Amino acid sequence: MNKLRTKGAVWAIGTAAAILILSVLALMLGRYQLSFSQVMQTLLHPGADHGMAGNVVFNIRLPRILISLLAGAGLATAGAAFQAVFSNPLAAPDTLGVATGASFGAVLGILFGLPSLAIQTSALVFGLAAVGLVYLVGHSRGGASPVMLILSGIVISSLFSALVSLVKYSADPQDVLPAITFWLMGSLSSVTRETLYTGAPFLLTGILLIFLLRWKLNALSLPQEEAQSLGVPVVRIRTAVILAAAMITAAAVSMCGLIGWVGLLVPHIARMIFGSNNQRVVPASIGFGAVFLLVIDTAARCVSAAEIPVSILTAIIGAPFFILLLRRTGGFRL
C-alpha cells in the first residue's frame, strides 16, 4: 500500500510539473514567438501595458491552453468513467451519442450563421438532449440496463450523424460547408475567453463529480445484484456518472469540435501504470489527459504554417500507440 501511495504521489507531482512546464512552453511557442522573460513579465504584471505580448498571452494563448487542459482532462475522465460503467474497454466519451448530438447542434448554428457563443450553447443543449433521448429509448420496466443504453446510444448517434450529414448537404459549399468541415475535425483555433467562461463550469462540474464517485466505480463492474447486496445504489451512481460524463463531452465538443482518441487511449495508459482500481485510474486520467491534449494542440499550431486540426494528430499518434499498448498488455484490463 505504501509503495502504491508513493508511486501515485511521484506520478502526481511529475504530472503537475509537466503541466506547468508545458504550459509555459505553449505560451512561448507559436507564429509570434515570445521569450521566457516576456511571458513571465506578462503573467506577473497583468495590469501593465505589454503591447502585442500581452494581447497574445491573455487573449489568444492562455485561454487556449486552459481549454486544452480542461478538455483533455475531461474527455479522459469521461472515457474512464464510461469504460467502468459499461465494463467495456472500447467505451469512449461518444458512446451514448453525446458527441454527435453536440455536433449537430453546432453545425446547425453554423448553418444559420449564429455567433460563436450561440453555436457553443446550441452544441451543449443538443449534446445533453442526446443523452436524454438515449435514456428515453433505453428505459424499460426493469430500468435502463447498460446493454440497452449502449444500443440506444448507437441508434441515437446514427440518427444525429445522419442529421449532421443532412446539414452538410444543405450548406453553402463556398462558405458554410468548409467551416462545418473544419469544425468537425476538431480545433482550438477559434476559442476565446468567452468560450472558456461558457464551457469550463460544465467541464469542472463533471470532472469533480466523477472524481468524488471514483471509488464507487469499482462496484459497478460487479453484477448488479451483488453490488446492491453490498449496499451500493447502482442505478443512482450509474445515472450520476453518465450524466457527468455526458456534460463533460457536450462541453468539450461545444468548445473544440470532435476530438477523438483522448477518452479511449488515456484511461488505458493510466490502467497500464496503476492497475484497474478506479480510485487511481480517474485522477491519473485527469492529469494524463490534460498533458496529452496540451501537447497535441501545441504541436497542431506549431508544426506547420497552416494549423492542423487536432483530431488528425490525435488519430495519427493515438492509433499506433493503441496498437503498441494492445501488443504489450495482450488485451485490456478493467
Residue with cell string 450509474: 238
- Strand, helix or coil for residue 209: helix
pLDDT at 334: 56
Look at residues 68, 89, 67 and name the one whose alpha carbon lies nearest to residue 80. 89
In order, the DSSP letters of 219-252 are: HHTS-HHHHHHTT--HHHHHHHHHHHHHHHHHHH
Which of 106, 139, 141, 144 shows the shortest CA–CA distance to 124? 106
Mean pLDDT of 127-145: 81
Closest CA to 149 of 4, 275, 246, 13: 246
Tell me the C-alpha to C-alpha distance, in Å, between residue 133 and each of 136, 205, 242: 5, 22, 13
Which residues neighbour 229 within 8 Å (Cβ) at sequence distance 6 or greater? none
- Mean per-residue pLDDT, 168-188: 88
Of the pLDDT bands very low, low, confident and very high (cuts 50, 70, 90), residue 333 is: low
* pLDDT over 80 (residue 330): no
The listed CATH number (3.40.190.10, 1.20.120.450, 2.40.30.10, 1.10.3470.10) that belongs to domain 2-329: 1.10.3470.10
- Is residue 255 within 8 Å of residue 195, measured between CB atoms? yes
Q: Indicate if the pLDDT at residue 187 is higher than 80.
A: yes
pLDDT score, position 227: 66
pLDDT band at 275 (very low <50, low <70, confident <90, very high): confident
Residue 94's pLDDT is 85
Region for 145 from its dihedrals, namely left if φ exceeds 0, alpha if ψ lies in -120 to 50, beta otherwise: beta
Angle at 183 between CA 181 and CA 188, to 5 degrees: 145
**Which three cell numbers mark 231?**
449496499
Task: For residues 148 and 131, give the distance between their C-alpha atoms in angstroms, rounded to a whole number.
Answer: 13
Helix (H, G, I), strand (E, B) or coil at 110: helix
Domain spans, the chain? 2-329
